[in-house]
Amino acid sequence: MKLEDFADRQPRFILEDFFSGTLRGFGVTLGRLGGFQYRFTIDARGQFDPVSNVLSLKEDYFFDDGHSDTLSWTILKRGETSYEGRETLIDGVAEGEQAGSAFRWQYARDVPAADGSKTRFGFDDWFIMHDDKHLSVHASLTKLGLEVATIEAFYERVG
């Protein structure tokens, strides 16, 4: 996929608009060869401060094996279509770019497992806006440059 492929597609995805408020989501993680790994649900809450151009976003992931993961993002809108994000388990910063109905978000993060260990994965997330309340996400997880899993998730604005 290329971000330019979405430039003329509507509705336009504006990260700070969609993720301001309360959201619910669900998804699955699939292994490299397509094997099922996890189901999960997501509770998310965000608030955008237009003065500082910062979105504060908290996402709680609950996996079907009983473990959970919380991401507390601070996302700076750097320009009309570019973003920079920080989160406690991110290596460096996340870089994001928006075009039309899509948003691409790239970063490396230490991901906690059910046994308490953490593994660093590279993430290449694609957010696709469907309408003002629904968003799908396709994420590629890499380790040492090789894709090891994918995530398919869906968000719905509920408040």
Residue-wise pLDDT tens digits, 50-101:
999 999 999 999 999 999 999 999 999 999 999 999 999 998 999 999 999 9
What is the value of pTM for the model shown?
0.94
Residue-wise pLDDT tens digits, 10-65:
999 999 999 999 999 999 999 987 789 999 999 999 999 999 999 999 999 999 99
Encoding tokens for residue 65?
Answer: 């094996």
- All structural domains of the chain, each given as residue ranges with its CATH number in brackets, are 3-157 (2.40.128.20)
